[in-house]
Structure 1
Amino acid sequence: MEVETDLAPGGQDGLERLWQGLPVDGIRIAEPSHGVERIEARFYGNAFSPHRHDTYGLGLTLHGVQTFRYRGVERFSNAGNVIVLHPDELHDGAAGTPDGLIYRIIYLPPDLISAVDGHRTALPFVPDPVLADDGLRQALEDLLSDLDEQPSDTMMDDVVMRLAAGLFRQAGAPRKMLSPSARTAVLRARDLLDDRYTELVSSEALEAETGLDRYELARQFRRLMGTSPHRYLVMRRLERAKRSMMEGQGLAEAAADAGFADQAHFTRHFRKTFGMTPGHWLALRTASTRER
């Protein structure tokens, strides 16, 4: 089903009509760009069980009421609001009314936010996950208005800069500086994990690479990357497995190629990270593809 969409201010009518009258859950995934995943989702009832990403989840509620539990509190977002989920924060998701829910969201690697100021400061934490922030909304609209179009390098650079500014503004706290040695150590650890994510990377290997003991590295890594080295490595494996599934590989083959011990190991990590099994994720993606 082809639908004209318009995310400009005051122009959400087209999106609010998207999939109306079709009580079928589904997710639409744009081609990943610059490490950023862009998704459009439609749900009736519960969408996700509790889970956590290692990215920022920055979204726009387009139709219905988006409800989720975050940091121990039930949250509600109406159409037009911005959603900000911090890396590694547990949350679930559901449609708050029988009319269903439509939203678009990006999963933004913390590394891109850190890079805006040269990895000199800890990540901004936004205490309120539901916002009415024109700056953040307009930046997200630039990336989410057309999921079929790949953003250019210059467009992505501009949007990331504006998102970083909005996150620091909404954090409402002074920026916490990292020492040059801590910054260098974390970036070396990140690069090692990126290169060897299908392997078992030991704490000893990370200590040798960075010059920090494992506990100090874990503390500094979380400040700059939003998660632990272990979780970061697991997420790289999950990203690889998702790409393999999208290319038509079976679950067992995708799990093995990404470095998981077996399919059950892969499924456990997938559910904890995305709030559903790999099979359910594939079914939702297929449902949206068939309706387009």
Structure 2
Amino acid sequence: MKQQPPGWVEISRDNDTQIEAIRAHFTGHAYDPHWHDSYLVGVTEQGVQQFHSRRKRHQSRPGNVFLLEPGELHDGDAVDDSGFTYRMLYIDPTLMQQQLGDLFTRLPQHFELSFAATLSQDRQLAHATFYAYQALQDNEPKMVKEAALQDLFTALTRHHHWQKAPAAAPADTQLALQARDYLHSCFTENIGLSDMAQALGVDRFRLSREFQASYGLPPHAWLIQLRLVQARRLLASGIPPVDVAARLGFADQSHLGRWFKRAYQLTPARYQRHCTNLPDCG
């Protein structure tokens, strides 16, 4: 049997649902703090998967399910030389809402889906996650995939709660919220911290302090994450990495590649090849 290298990533993207199915193994430091614009539902297959999320350290062991919401900052490390292996699904929030709409006859108004806990030992949910991953990875017939996903979303309903949409931010976090909105409005531009501070009428030291206190990353790191999230979408749609880099404000393709690999342990070209079946051009 062919042996896998010490660290590896297998990835596919389902054409019907746009769900990404990832199986990966890491030793040592896996990835830096980052976030996604998708819901992440994963299960640890082997080893101990250590990560920080919601300002806490978590250790996921074989059979544990980990649940992350869009925008939830997390990292990843192995605790010993044997490393860890996991399977994970990236689920778009729109698809999540559609599936929940099918399960519930009446969804609450102005509510957001939130997972009650980051880790779960629910065996039924773990099994459903494994099964859904395998159905998508193997590109089973559409009906098989739909049945697997229905089981997964049914199992997930025991691990969520309806969270009221956030009210107006209090004064001490309003600046951070304004800064985040500013970054989202011009993330492809070559903006500086001084530019943002001037636009918001505040000094850049206070701006950095308030932003990191609210979101766990300094503004420049958040900006990179915004670009990487969009890069995944553009790459999955077949746009060449060199053009993606130019569109998103990276200095060049190698600059995009360095940041992309730090966050996802994949080169942009390899990610694109697995998501689109395009030839790997480097």
TM range (shorter): 0.5 to 0.7
Aligned equivalents of 2:255 and 2:120: distance in 1? 33
Task: Please state if 1:40 is matched with 2:23.
Answer: yes
Describe the shift of the 1:26–1:234 C-alpha distance in structure 2 as closer, same or farther (beyond 3 A).
Answer: closer
**TM-superposition CA deviations, 1:81-118 (whole Å, max 9, x none):** 11111111000011122111111111111111100243
1:156 to partner: Cα distance? 3.4
**TM-superposition CA deviations, 1:126-167 (whole Å, max 9, x none):** 232111112321221212236651143333333333333333
Q: Give the alignment partner of residue 260 of structure 1, picking from 241, 248, 255.
A: 248
Q: Give the alignment partner of residue 68 of structure 1, picking from 32, 35, 51.
A: 51
Kept in 2: contact 1:43–1:95 (CA 8 A): yes
Structure with the larger strand share: 2
Matches within 5 A, 1:166-185: 166-171=155-160, 173=161
Aligned equivalents of 2:45 and 2:80: distance in 1? 14
Q: Secondary structure at the match of 1:60?
A: strand
**TM-superposition CA deviations, 1:224-273 (whole Å, max 9, x none):** xxxxxxx999745432225548xxx4x323434xx323445995799489
Partner in structure 1 of residue 119 of structure 2: 130
TM-score, with structure 2 as normaliser: 0.60
Long gaps (5+) in structure 1: 3-17, 178-199, 201-230, 287-292
The letter for the 1-side match of 2:243 is E
Kept in 2: contact 1:40–1:102 (CA 8 A): yes
Cα RMSD of the aligned pairs, angstroms, is 3.8
Q: Secondary structure at the match of 2:101?
A: coil
Aligned equivalents of 1:146 and 1:164: distance in 2? 14
Partner in structure 1 of residue 232 of structure 2: 238
Farther-moved stretch of structure 1 (87-96 vs 117-126): 117-126
The letter for the 2-side match of 1:80 is G
Kept in 1: contact 2:45–2:86 (CA 8 A): yes
Percent identity of paired positions between Structure 1 and Structure 2:
24
Task: Please state if 1:28 is matched with 2:10.
Answer: yes
Partner in structure 2 of residue 57 of structure 1: 40
Kept in 2: contact 1:64–1:100 (CA 8 A): yes
Kept in 2: contact 1:237–1:260 (CA 8 A): yes
Describe the shift of the 1:63–1:117 C-alpha distance in structure 2 as closer, same or farther (beyond 3 A).
Answer: closer
Task: Please state if 1:154 is matched with 2:166.
Answer: no
Describe the shift of the 1:123–1:267 C-alpha distance in structure 2 as closer, same or farther (beyond 3 A).
Answer: farther
Matches within 5 A, 1:72-87: 72-87=55-70
Q: Secondary structure at the match of 2:132?
A: helix
TM-score, with structure 1 as normaliser: 0.59
Aligned equivalents of 2:136 and 2:153: distance in 1? 21
Aligned equivalents of 2:249 and 2:151: distance in 1? 40
Q: Secondary structure at the match of 2:127?
A: helix
Aligned equivalents of 1:101 and 1:281: distance in 2? 25
**TM-superposition CA deviations, 1:63-95 (whole Å, max 9, x none):** 110010011100001111111111110000111
Partner in structure 1 of residue 74 of structure 2: 91
Higher relative contact order, structure no. (Cα contacts within 8 Å, ≥ 6 residues apart): 1
Task: Please state if 1:114 is matched with 2:97.
Answer: yes
Q: Secondary structure at the match of 1:161?
A: helix
Kept in 1: contact 2:30–2:265 (CA 8 A): no
**TM-superposition CA deviations, 1:5-57 (whole Å, max 9, x none):** xxxxxxxxxxxxx74xx4x2111112434210001111110111000001111
Aligned equivalents of 2:253 and 2:136: distance in 1? 32
Aligned equivalents of 1:39 and 1:253: distance in 2? 25
Q: Give the alignment partner of residue 165 of structure 1, picking from 125, 137, 154.
A: 154
Aligned equivalents of 1:252 and 1:166: distance in 2? 41
Give 4+ residue runs of structure 1 displaced > 6 Å after superposition: 231-234
1:281 to partner: Cα distance? 8.3
Describe the shift of the 1:162–1:138 C-alpha distance in structure 2 as closer, same or farther (beyond 3 A).
Answer: same
Kept in 2: contact 1:271–1:277 (CA 8 A): no
**TM-superposition CA deviations, 1:165-198 (whole Å, max 9, x none):** 3333112x45769xxxxxxxxxxxxxxxxxxxxx
Matches within 5 A, 1:203-222: none
Describe the shift of the 1:133–1:39 C-alpha distance in structure 2 as closer, same or farther (beyond 3 A).
Answer: same
Long gaps (5+) in structure 2: 166-187, 189-224, 275-282
